[in-house]
Amino acid sequence: MGMRVVVLQGDTVSDPETGSPSVVAPEPSAVTIGSFDGLHVGHRKIIGTMIGDARLKGLRSVVVTFEPHPRLVLDGGSECPVRLLTTFEEKVAQFGSMPIDLLFVIRFDRQFSRISSDSFIREVLSGLLGARLVVVGYDHGFGSNRRGSGQTLHTLGAECGFDVDVVGEVIIDQAPVSSTRIRHLLADGRIREANECLGAPYMISGTVVEGSKLGREIGFPTANLDLPERCKLLPANGVYAAGVTIDGIDYPVMMNIGSRPTVSRDGTVRVEAHIIGFSGDLYGRFLVFRIFDFIRQEQCFGSIEALQAQLLLDKKEVSLYKK
């Protein structure tokens, strides 16, 4: 039996696909809580610890997360106060690859943000979910203004009947892994280092839409992506080695992120993917791309012929990446 997903909005629990009311029994559970943006190796250590403890103790394994990201609500506006490493759909897909029994999604809004840490623990973790064990990271904060801490959990755990396990940080290259660190790496185009911290290739997903067809005219047809999340973080402008799976077949991808200065002057950043070895119609398809490596910075070439020559070199390099 796979992972069950439910959504809490206000006082109502529902099925996210149908919107119909759903019931969550407060059965004995091991629970972890977080935004889990990026689901990096530190997050995976926390979730893995929770799953392992749940199996040992015969408990249901539960991940509690928030949608949208709390900072988009609390610091929101026309701009993006935080650039997301994972869209909600990407995050759910990654959770689904883990042996989690229940993904409990809280629709985060300003009303929910005012709930105290005490009330959250008593009403949600203990009352609604039946927590017997709560697993969190060393720097975890929750509740109104993030006033809740590991100590809050320990204090109320003794009262509500659950134990608390605080998981330590993960160190890579002598520095703690965090979503903030990964954002900086991606902004610098340091994909390999970011992927090491993520524990998996960085993902960019979107729907293929019609473009200007300039790539097709110069011999490099591209799938133009419409991204579903305006605050999704794009790596630094440039050419990347990537991969995509279409109908069960893996293809190497030459991906360009940038404003195409050789052929355009409007400055709009686009995501275009030349899928090597694929032919067919992809319009309207939702594709998930895995980014493996940075190939080169975006350049403005003096002619289309110079651009074509460089793209041939890029394609040869990208073709070495098979997964």
pLDDT at position 78, please?
67
262 shares a domain with 141: no
13 shares a domain with 113: yes
128 shares a domain with 277: no
pLDDT at position 268, please?
84
161 shares a domain with 16: yes
94 shares a domain with 41: yes
153 shares a domain with 39: yes
235 shares a domain with 138: no
pLDDT at position 27, please?
95
Phi, psi of 282 (to 5 degrees): -115, 0
User: CA triplet 222, 223, 224: central angle to 5 degrees?
Assistant: 105
Q: Which of 23-27, 84-88, 142-146, 212-216 has the lowest mean pLDDT?
A: 142-146
**Mean pLDDT to the nearest integer, 29-41:** 96
Last residue of a domain, one of 157, 172, 187: 172
Residue 50 lies in a domain: yes
140 shares a domain with 63: yes
Give CA–CA dist 149/159, Å, rounded. Answer: 16
Residue 180 lies in a domain: no
The CATH number assigned to the domain holding 63 equals 3.40.50.620
Residue 178 lies in a domain: no
- pLDDT(77) > 90: no
- Please write the tens of the pLDDT for every residue from 106-120: 999 999 988 888 888
Residue 140 lies in a domain: yes
More confident residue, 228 or 217: 228
207 shares a domain with 76: no
242 near 272, Cβ under 8 Å?
no
Residue 196 lies in a domain: no
The CATH number assigned to the domain holding 285 equals 2.40.30.30
Residue 167 lies in a domain: yes
Q: By residue range, what is the domain housing residue 231? A: 202-318
- pLDDT(265) > 80: no
120 shares a domain with 44: yes
Burial of 176 (0-12, 13-18, 19+ CB in 10 A): middle
- pLDDT(211) > 90: no
241 shares a domain with 161: no
Residue 114 lies in a domain: yes
**Mean pLDDT to the nearest integer, 280-300:** 94
pLDDT at position 142, please?
61
233 shares a domain with 110: no
HEC profile of the chain: CCCEEEEEECCEEECCCCCCECCCCCCCEEEEECCCCCCCHHHHHHHHHHHHHHHHHCCEEEEEEEECCHHHHHCCCCCCCCCECCCHHHHHHHHHCCCCCEEEEEECCHHHHCCCHHHHHHHHHHHHCCEEEEEEECCCCECHHHCECHHHHHHHHHHHCCEEEEECCCEECCEECCHHHHHHHHHCCCHHHHHHHHCCCEEEEEEEECCCCHHHHCCCCCEEEECCCCCECCCCCEEEEEEEEECCEEEEEEEEEECCCCCCCCCCCEEEEEECCCCCCCCCCEEEEEEEEEEEECCCCCCHHHHHHHHHHHHHHHCCCCC
Residue 17 lies in a domain: yes
Report the number of distinct structural domains present in the chain.
2
Give CA–CA dist 102/29, Å, rounded. Answer: 10
Phi, psi of 39 (to 5 degrees): 45, 55
